[in-house]
Structure 1
Amino acid sequence: MPPSELMPIGVFARRSGLTPSALRFYADSGLLRPAETDPVSGYRYYRPDQVARAVALRRLRAIGMPLTAVEAVLAADPEEASRLIDEHLAKVLGDAAAARRKAALLQSSLADGVPSRPIAALKGPVLADAVEQVLTATVREPGLPVLGGLRIEVTHEAVTLTATDRYRLSTRTLVPAEPATTVWAGTVDGDELRAAAAEIRRSPLVRIEATPHAIRLRRTAREDQEDQGDLHCGLLSEEFPDYRLMLASLGEATTRATVSKDVFLRALEDHPEERITLRLTDHGTHVMPPGDDHPETPLRATVTGRPLSVSFELTTLYPAVSTALGPDVMLDLRGPDQPATIRSADRGDLTTVAMPIKPEGPSA
């Protein structure tokens, strides 16, 4: 190949995202040899068609794949490569789960001397369901870790779980299995609580205790189970958004629709676009098509108030509907640019507030 078509190692490093030192390492290991090496200076040159292999190598190493497995993936056909990646991912997840279990046992042993105070007792399956429902409103955002957390607020009468990703807010109120003896509030790491949900679901009763930097979940085992120890979830130090002020500032609903949850979900699943526009009139609710070539999808619904068209991102609306309790969903709407409240038509202990978006097209 003419020298003009070869790339020096520095240029190839920028194209591939690998450092020159990494390229030298992969050349020595045989995974990515240079096309040519200057016999006098030892300088290395690469062909343009080697960039794709270098990028794939970088991505495989980024997911922690060892060199022997990387070599096998790069040499395999697409189907076999995909299988090998799945195999590696399963091992990584298994190792992480094992590490989490060992860390929980270590935390439990270290926490024996850490003072804690009881704050609430809840039925395990009820708490697990509520955690998974409310955590749909979290988001991983490096600059705002609190948006990945779940706010727990305990009074003598209730335990309230709340999460928000700024475009959606979900909150659920639970009745304690035993009267709470204290008032407490804290924001719990959402990832750790999500991982704990599978464990607490199998416990008839879970007692929540607070320590300075975490909550301790004490599980009561069934008669046929052995005691599996406590679970620990860290507390986040960042201030949680003042969601109560936002809820208090919501205006009265101008349009209300009640629709079957299953029917609504099917309509959202069949909608071909990422954005959903709902048209609500006295005659019911319609899911608007993305263009004039498709018919509207009618939904049998009870609508009261003013006619309204309102648009949502599918990723905002679908979780709010899917986690609603009961067979029917109620939408309280305040206008095309005002927050919408989505909840069960007959139960008010799980509520989601979702932000609409500006509709697309000439009518926008």
Structure 2
Amino acid sequence: MPNSELMPIGVFARRCGLTSSALRFYADSGLLPPAEVDPVSGYRYYGADQLERAATLRRLREIAMPLAAAEAVLDAGAEEAARLLDEHVARVVADAAATLREAAAIKSALAGAPGVTIATLKGPVLADAVEQVLTATAHEPGMPVLAGVRVEAGPEAVTLTATDRYRLSVRTLVSARPPERTWAGTVDGDDLRAAACAVRRGALVRVEALPHGIRLAVAGREDRHCRLLSGEFPDHRLMLASLGAVTTRATVAKGPLLRALEEQPGERVALHVADRAVRVHPLDGTHPATTIPGTTIPAATTGEALRIGFELTTLHPAVSTAIGPDLMLDLRGPDQPVTIRSADRGDLTTLAMPVASD
């Protein structure tokens, strides 16, 4: 290569964002050897065509990718490189979550306060409840509590509540043993999600309150720690208390309703409740409801006929997590939340906010 096309190591370092010492290290490691080395002076020179590889290497190291993995990405095709990056990110995220949980456990141990049992629950039941209410969480900048689950332990039951401001899911569980005291806190949803797989295999899970979180203890298994989130959880009781009277009620099979929602082509759907049926169709204000293709599902209906619209991403999770084969929909008008619950079991209740119809 002509010398005019080569750059000394200092110039190359400035252009690619790496230090000269890092370039020497990567050259010795075989990841980025110089294009030419002066046999007399030992000076290293790099070509312009090496800038992209050098910059990519810098970015890979900035996300803490090990050298061997970085080399594999650099030498792979686009699809394989993307897969390797995804695997690395998944490991980093899992390690970070484990570190946060372990830090919470250490802080609780340093505080010296023993855990207080606030509930004793069946493992599979607790795992199901966690997964059901987690569908109503959201990661919102500035509102970390929306990514958490409000846990309230009383003398008779434990209540799990989550909300993303468009949905509100509440699940009530009966403790197998009386708690040592009442307790309430907002628990990190990601920690609960990670713990759900472990506690599912436990016959009984002892839920203990700690200074900085809760501990889920299963006999014969490693304890799982879940952190508490700071900030005030939304006043869901006020929301529930302010709900208007139910004007329309429909009892409908869950399976057909889910299929109808999934078959709709748009991002918004409408429910038309009337004449012993729930009709699901795209939410399109430019056509009368009777002209829009949709799916009609038989239902037991009472009250006024009503058409109400939803974002599919709001309504579908609320329906899919409901318990049992039949659902009860309590409606209060086109601009009021709908309550979705099992037709025969009331321990999971979800509120879904509608959208305005054009």
TM band (smaller chain): 0.7 to 0.9
Instruction: Tell me what 2:42 maps to.
Output: none
Q: Deviations over 1:164-200 (max 9, x none)?
A: 1111100011111112342211111111111111111
Q: Distance in 2 between matches of 1:254 and 1:121?
A: 39
Aligned length, in residue pairs: 322
Question: Which residue of 2 is the match for residue 341 of structure 1?
Answer: 339
Map 1:266-305 → 2, pairs under 5 A: 266-289=259-282, 295-305=293-303
Contact 1:104-1:230 at 8 Å conserved across structures:
no
For 2:160 and 2:108, locate their aligned partners in 1 and report how far apart those are by CA, in whole Å.
Answer: 28
Structure 2 residues without counterparts, runs of 5 or longer:
1-13, 34-45
- Give the deviation of 1:237 after TM superposition: 2.5
- 1:280 and 1:92, CA in 2 relative to 1: closer, same or farther beyond 3 A? same
Match of residue 228 from structure 1? 221
Distance 2:55 2:300 in 1: 54
Q: Does 1:264 align with 2:262?
A: no
Shift of 1:98: 6.9
- 3-state SS of 2:17 partner: helix
Amino acid at match of 2:210: T
1:238 maps to which of 222, 231, 243: 231
Equivalent residue number for residue 254 of structure 1: 247
1:332 maps to which of 330, 334, 337: 330
Structure 1 93/256 Cα, relative in aligned 2: closer, same or farther at 3 Å?
Answer: same
Q: Percent identity?
A: 61
The structural deviation recorded for 1:58 is 8.2
> What residue in structure 1 maps to residue 77 of structure 2?
77
Deviations 1:40-80 (A, max 9, x none): xxxx9999xx99x9997787667544465445445543433
Match of 2:312 among 308, 311, 314: 314
The answer on whether the counterparts of 2:148 and 2:229 sit within 8 Å (CA) in structure 1 is: yes
Distance verdict in 2 for CA 1:356–1:25, change over 3 Å = farther
Indicate the RMSD between aligned Cα atoms, in angstroms. Answer: 3.5
Alpha-carbon distance in structure 2 between the residues aligned to 1:332 and 1:122: 30
CA distance in 2, matches of 1:265, 1:99: 38
Change (3 A) 1:95 1:115: closer
Give the equivalent residue in structure 1 for 2:8: none
The structure-2 alpha-carbon separation of the partners of 1:181 and 1:89, relative to structure 1 and needing over 3 Å to count, comes to closer
> Is the Cα contact below 8 Å between 2:252 and 2:299 reproduced in 1?
yes
Distance in 2, matches of 1:90 and 1:309, equals 43
In 2, the alpha carbon distance for the partners of 1:189 and 1:74 equals: 37
Deviation digits for residues 219-269 of structure 1 (CA, Å, limit 9, x no counterpart): 1x3xxxxx2232211112311111011101101111111111111111111
**Quick one: distance in 1 between partners of 2:18 and 2:209?**
52
Q: CA deviation at 1:85?
A: 3.4
Give the 3 Å change call, closer, same or farther, for CA 84–230 of structure 1 in structure 2: closer
**Structure 2 counterparts to residues 126-145 of structure 1, below 5 A:** 126-145=125-144
Report the CA distance between 1:307 and its aligned residue: 1.2
TM-superposed CA distance for 1:82, in Å, is 3.8
Matching residue of 2:17: 23
Residues 282-328 of structure 1 show CA distances to partners (whole Å, capped at 9, x for unaligned) of 14111113667962211122222111111111111111101101101
**What's the CA shift for 1:352?**
0.3
Please give the alpha-carbon distance, in whole angstroms, between the structure 1 residues aligned to 2:15 and 2:255: 56
Q: Provide TM-score, normalisation by structure 2.
A: 0.78
Read off the aligned partner of 1:146 and give its amino acid letter.
V
Render the CA deviation track for 1:322-343: whole Å, top value 9, x for unaligned.
Answer: 1101101111111111111011
Give the TM-score taking structure 1 as reference length. Answer: 0.76
